[in-house]
């Protein structure tokens, strides 16, 4: 079983602008941190990012078929995508939604997420450490 850490639109640009909102960690550094954390927790993880919503849907279908847990930062698709909600509703493994920023402290259009109602848990506003916490929860729950 592999924990799929999936990242949506524009997160590959992390660390290049808006450090006051998203911090200064680059996407490559985030991948490094998560791979190191996974080794320490003896978890098998795969970290990916896409700017293509269809590709993200495909990865979720693959995780569903493989029975893989998912840590997901859906980025802007959180606020727009019923297709993402529908794909995730079919996932029969743990799902943690992660947002680097606290979406509830920001513009009103970010306050609703189509993902939260099908997630086991939501972490928002704790920076990139939110992903580490999600992996720790997976480990505590024995999802490895
Ligand atoms: O806080 C989060 O993690 C978000 O999911 C990030 C999304 C945003 O649309 C959500 O409302 C909240 C934005 C991802 C774009 O990230 C960038 C970061 C730095 C530079 C460019 C893009």
3-class secondary structure, 14:
coil
pLDDT, tens only, 24-37: 999 999 999 999 99
What are the residue ranges spanned by the domains of the chain?
3-140
pLDDT at residue 143 tops 80 = no
pLDDT, tens only, 35-66: 999 999 999 999 999 999 999 999 999 999 99
Active site residue 85: no
pLDDT, tens only, 85-140: 999 999 999 999 999 999 999 999 999 999 999 999 999 999 999 999 999 999 99
Question: What residues form DSSP beta bridges with 4?
Answer: 46, 70
| End-to-end alpha carbon distance in the chain | 6
143 Cβ contact partners less than 8 Å away, ≥ 6 residues apart: 1, 3, 69, 93, 94
For a ligand 1 pocket test, name from 15, 19, 103, 123 the mutation site with the most ligand atoms within 8 angstroms of its C-beta. Answer: 103
Enter the tokens of residue 106.
């920001």
Greater pLDDT, 125 or 142: 125
What architecture is the 3-140 domain classified under in CATH? 3-Layer(aba) Sandwich (3.40)
Active site residue 22: yes
From the CA of 15, give the closest atom in ligand 1.
19
Tell me the backbone φ, ψ of residue 94, rounded to 5 degrees: -60, 145
pLDDT band at 142 (very low <50, low <70, confident <90, very high): confident
pLDDT at residue 144 tops 60 = no
pLDDT at 139: 97
């Amino acid at each position: 079983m592999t924990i799929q850490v999936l990242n949506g639109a524009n997160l590959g640009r992390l660390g290049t602008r808006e450090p006051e909102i998203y911090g200064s960690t680059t996407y490559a550094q985030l991948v490094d941190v998560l791979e190191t954390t996974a080794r320490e927790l003896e978890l098998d993880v795969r970290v990916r990012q896409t700017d293509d919503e269809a590709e993200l849907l495909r990865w979720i279908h693959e995780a569903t078929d493989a029975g893989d847990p998912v840590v997901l930062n859906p980025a802007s698709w959180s606020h727009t995508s019923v297709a993402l909600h529908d794909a995730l509703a079919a996932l029969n493994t743990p799902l943690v939604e992660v947002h680097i920023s606290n979406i509830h402290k920001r513009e009103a259009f970010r306050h609703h997420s189509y993902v939260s109602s099908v997630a086991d848990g939501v972490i928002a506003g704790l920076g990139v450490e939110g992903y580490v916490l999600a992996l720790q929860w997976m480990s505590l729950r024995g999802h490895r």
